[in-house]
Structure 1
Amino acid sequence: MKIYFCGSIRGGRDDVNIYRRLVEKLQSYGTVLTEHVSSSELTDRVVVAEVTQPSLGVGYELGRAVDMNKKILCLFRPSSGRTLSAMIRGADDGQLFVVRDYTEDEAENILEDFFSNIKRI
């Protein structure tokens, strides 16, 4: 499986260590890609986005992934004190676009659950 991971770059790098942990875990489910989400070779890919740090770039990538009917998992940490965009929260349909609140300790289990459900589809 090919997985596209997004996280804030220009909006702030405060969560870079969390991103690293998430990517390490995602690698156990497939190949984590770094190319742009609008790549013409996007087919069976999954997008996982850590959305705690607001980022226009991640929002754009998510919009492109929605347009391409990609399976999307957004991860948000309420402990950050931030509020998740209502547009992202409201996009959760429980199937193609999934938003999960998490703590760092819960991240691996959330990923495991998400990817085990994909394999059943």
Structure 2
Amino acid sequence: MTRTSSAPQHTLTRFGDRPVIYFAGSIRAGRDDVPTYAALIERLSGYGQVTTEHVGDYSLSVKGQARLSDRHIHDRDLRWLRASDIVVAEVTTASLGVGYEIATAVAWRIPVVALYRGEEGTLSAMIAGSPGVRTHRYSDLGEAFTVIDTALADFDGKAES
């Protein structure tokens, strides 16, 4: 009898290349975590191409990329997301946009790693309860880096637990 995994499998994985990483973090819901985003993006860049480096840009305000229309941002970000091999999301600051990105990634079978600070049980049940999202609580950047290192060290199209 053959066992099959119930874990979602990404439908567009490219083998042999460095992964394309989509980093998700709050923009319009608050920019208090920009230093954390910047550090996480720098760490992720060691493993692959981060298509959303602007999320960690200190000059980006809660108004986001105001010179671009909402439709342009939506369509561009979904193109980037569709081309990604893995999503790493910092979800401490609740954000409708990040939740939308995570839900879309799960629907497209793109592995999602969600990092958050705070007490156990404070993360949205829609994220914490999703079988397509691996959640990790952390208290400092060192712990977050360990999660990233574990998830991406031997990336083969599936995030490691």
Shorter-chain TM-score bucket reads 0.7 to 0.9
**Richer in strand (by share):** 1
Higher Cα Rg: structure 1 or 2? 2
1:5 to 6, 18, 23: 23
Instruction: Provide TM-score, normalisation by structure 1.
Output: 0.85
* Aligned counterparts, 1:28-107, within 5 A: 28-34=46-52, 35-36=76-77, 38-39=78-79, 42-43=82-83, 45-78=85-118, 83-91=122-130, 93=131, 96-104=132-140, 105-107=142-144
- C-alpha contact 1:52 1:82 (8 A) present in aligned 2: no
Deviates more, 1:12-21 or 1:98-107: 98-107
User: Cα RMSD over matched residues?
Assistant: 2.3
Unaligned runs of 5+ in 1: none
Secondary structure of the equivalent of 1:108?
helix
Q: Percent identity?
A: 41
Taking a change above 3 Å as real, the CA distance of residues 23 and 41 of structure 1, as seen in their structure-2 partners, is closer
Moved over 2 A (4+): 40-44, 116-121
Q: What is aligned with 1:113? A: 150
Taking a change above 3 Å as real, the CA distance of residues 117 and 18 of structure 1, as seen in their structure-2 partners, is same
Greater relative CO (CA pairs within 8 A, separation 6+): 2
Q: What is aligned with 1:23? A: 41
Q: CA deviation at 1:83?
A: 1.7
Secondary structure of the equivalent of 2:50?
strand
Structure 1 residues 32-54: Cα deviation after superposition (integer angstroms, max 9, x where no partner): 00251x21883451100000000
Deviates more, 1:108-117 or 1:41-50: 41-50
Unaligned runs of 5+ in 2: 1-18, 53-75
CA distance, structure 2, for counterparts of residue 41 and residue 90 of structure 1 = 21
Secondary structure of the equivalent of 1:4?
strand
CA distance, structure 1, for counterparts of residue 80 and residue 30 of structure 2 = 28
Q: CA deviation at 1:97?
A: 2.0
**Richer in helix (by share):** 1
How many residue pairs are counted as aligned between the two chains? 116
